Amino acid sequence: MSNPIENLKYDLALSLVPKIGSAVFMSILAHAGSTKGFLDLTKCKASKISRISSSIMEIRRQFENNLPKLIKSSINVSRRI
C-alpha cells in the first residue's frame, strides 16, 4: 500500500515543475497511476506517454537526481512546523 503523504510530496513537487501543466500532469496520472509511478517507469515507457516531450524527459531526469535532496529538505521543514 502506498503512503498518501509520500504520494503528496511527489505530486506537489512535480506539479511545480515548469512545462508540466495540468494537461501533462493528468496525462502522467492517467498513464502511470501516480507521479511516483511516472518516476518509476523506464525512460522508454515514460517517453511514450502522450504530451511528454524531450524537455519534460530531461526535467524528469533532473527531478530524479534531486529527489532525495527535495524529500530530505521537506522532512526537515515538516519537523520544524
CATH of the domain at 25: 1.10.150
* Structural domain containing residue 34: 4-80
**Segment 12-37, tens digit of pLDDT:** 888 887 788 888 889 999 999 988 88
The amino acid at residue 49 is I
Count of structural domains, the chain: 1
Q: Which cell goes with 80?
A: 520544524
**Higher model confidence: residue 71 or residue 80?**
71
What's the pTM value of the predicted model, to 2 decimals?
0.69
CA–CA distance from 19 to each of 25, 40, 66 (Å)? 10, 20, 17
